[in-house]
Chains A and B, each alone.
Chain A
């Protein structure tokens, strides 16, 4: 079907980004291919190395999924910031990745977790690493006849703590800036630290903060060094909501907060003995 309509077609899943674009006449595809009736796309599967999310899983469904949240806490941490509940009830996590909006939370989570995008078409299947999937704002490597069938978010190594935070004018609106972090602790000190950003880079990409943070404790994070790395990585734009400079200052502050929250959090693997979920 997608092959038949070609470049004039667009896949409709949750529609929470696509329908506003149509309503504002920013795009006028000749055909919409509604995949909501396709069976087998609405599953969440927790595997040893990944959490596999099907194309029709709504943000709200993934957010409520306890096994997924235990296996990869960053999913729930980030999903809580995706728009408003009424939007999360309809919008799909995989759709927001295929949409590739730099202001989207889940593309950043995808790159930070080393996710794999499962792509299907009448020609066959292929898998694309999240790091190679995004080409630019709203642009991906997907061909006209291809559908993202699922995304496998990679589970993080033992000892890794994550956090997600963002700032918006109104809770649930597009973030002025946001950040997801993953900090692997070796006892009390940082062994590895990485971050991915929302609304301040044209495509989501991972920044390695390990050089600034390795060997430091949660109480003693050298945030000046972090800020320098962050400023060298992000490339925000000015719009009516905030200037580029404000976004730079904001994302520095948010990154510091997220790192502190992650580094001082208990080991997510540890509380299993107490039966906590």
Chain B
């Protein structure tokens, strides 16, 4: 703690959005910083940096986790999905992204990547949430603009869009 830290770089390979990506980083590098600084994937946003706001949420093997509470080295060998992997083409938005556009689920957009990753994983497990469940699904993410009503609407609309795109297969 008292002497200057000489940091050894470690080769870290993760699968990010289906593609193996490698960069050298110190052991202390958080996954959020690794994605943004070392891999240039700046869609993952960093807000509170201690796990409260949810802006940095990514999917680890399909499950939402806070990338600011995970060291990049710990994620070695795992599959990471970031907002870029959910959809980075404005002409081909994912159901959740489309719902946010339709329902005005964002204003400044800072928190949006964390909401989209969280809701995408939630709907995979709960394809037909009630308004109450939709509200609980986003309770771990903070938004300072919208007042949340339109985000809850977006969750419900995204569930509809998923069903529509599945070809009216209304299960």
Residues of chain A touching chain B, judged by Cβ–Cβ distance below 8 Å, are 8, 12, 15-16, 19-20, 23-24, 28, 30, 32, 34, 36, 60, 83-87, 89-90, 170-172
Q: How far is the CA of A24 from the CA of B51 in the complex (A)?
A: 11
Binary contact readout B26-66 vs A (1 if CB under 8 angstroms, 0 otherwise):
01001000000000000000000111001001001001111
**CA of A266 to CA of B139, assembled, Å:** 31
Which residue in chain B gives the minimum CB-CB distance to A14? Answer: B69
Shortest CB–CB separation between residue A228 and chain B, in angstroms?
Answer: 35
Q: Give A171 to B140 CA distance when docked, in angstroms.
A: 8
Q: Is the pair B140, A86 in contact by a Cβ cutoff of 8 Å? A: yes
- Decide if B69 touches A90 in the complex (CB within 8 Å): yes
Q: Which residue of A lies closest to B49 (CB)?
A: A23
Q: How far is the CB of B135 from chain A (nearest CB, A)?
A: 9
Within the complex, which residue of B54, B66, B136 is in contact with A90, where a contact is CB–CB below 8 Å? B66
* A16 neighbours in B (Cβ, 8 Å): 51, 66, 69
Whether B139 and A172, one on each chain, are in contact in the complex, defined by CB atoms closer than 8 angstroms, is: yes
CB neighbours (8 Å) of A84 from chain B are 54, 139-140
A172 and B140 form a contact (CB under 8 A): yes
Q: Does B73 contact A (CB under 8 A)?
A: yes
Tell whether, in the assembled complex, residue A15 and residue B64 are in contact, meaning their CB atoms are under 8 Å apart: no
| Interchain CB contact under 8 A, A20 and B50 | yes
Contact, CB under 8 Å: B74 / A86: no
> Which residues of B sit under 8 angstroms from A28, Cβ to Cβ?
1
- A32 CA to B27 CA, complexed, in Å: 10
B110 at the interface (CB under 8 A from A): no
Check B123 for interface membership: any CB of A closer than 8 A: no
| A34 with B73: CB separation less than 8 A | yes
Q: CB distance B74 to A12 under 8 Å?
A: yes
Q: Are A20 and B51 in contact (CB under 8 A)?
A: yes
Give me 7 other A-B pairs in contact (C-beta within 8 A), A86-B54, A171-B139, A172-B139 excluded: A19-B30, A20-B51, A23-B68, A30-B1, A34-B74, A60-B63, A86-B118
Contact of A36 with B74 in the complex, beta carbons under 8 Å = yes
**A83 — which chain B residues lie within 8 A by C-beta?**
140
**Contact present for A89 and B65 (CB under 8 Å):** yes
CA distance A16 to B51 in the complex (A): 8
Residues of B with C-beta under 8 A to A23: 49-50, 68
Residues from chain A with a CB closer than 8 A to the CB of B57 are 86
Residues of B within 8 A of A60 (CB): 63
| A23 CA to B140 CA, complexed, in Å | 19
Residues of chain B lying within 8 A (CB to CB) of residue A89: 60, 63-65
Decide: A15 near B69, CB < 8 A? Known: A20-B51, A23-B50. yes
For window 58-92 of B, CB contacts with A under 8 Å fall at: 60, 63-66, 68-71, 73-74
Could you give, for residues 122-149 of chain B, a 1 whenever the CB lies within 8 Å of some chain A CB and a 0 otherwise? Answer: 1000000000000011011000000000
Residue of B nearest to A34 (CB): B74
A15-B70 CB under 8 A given contacts A86-B57, A86-B118, A171-B139: yes
| Interchain CA distance A87-B69 in the complex, whole Å | 9
Chain A residues, Cβ within 8 Å of B30: 19
Give the distance in Å from the alpha carbon of A15 to the alpha carbon of B74 in the complex. Answer: 10
Chain B nearest CB: distance from A91 CB in Å?
A: 9
In the complex, which residues of chain B have a beta carbon less than 8 angstroms from the beta carbon of A87? 51, 66, 69, 140
Complex contacts, A172 vs chain B, CB 8 Å: 139-140
The distance in angstroms between the C-alpha atoms of A180 and B42, with both chains bound, is 43
Complex A-B, nearest 3 residue pairs according to Cβ-Cβ distance, in ascending order: A84-B140, A20-B50, A86-B64
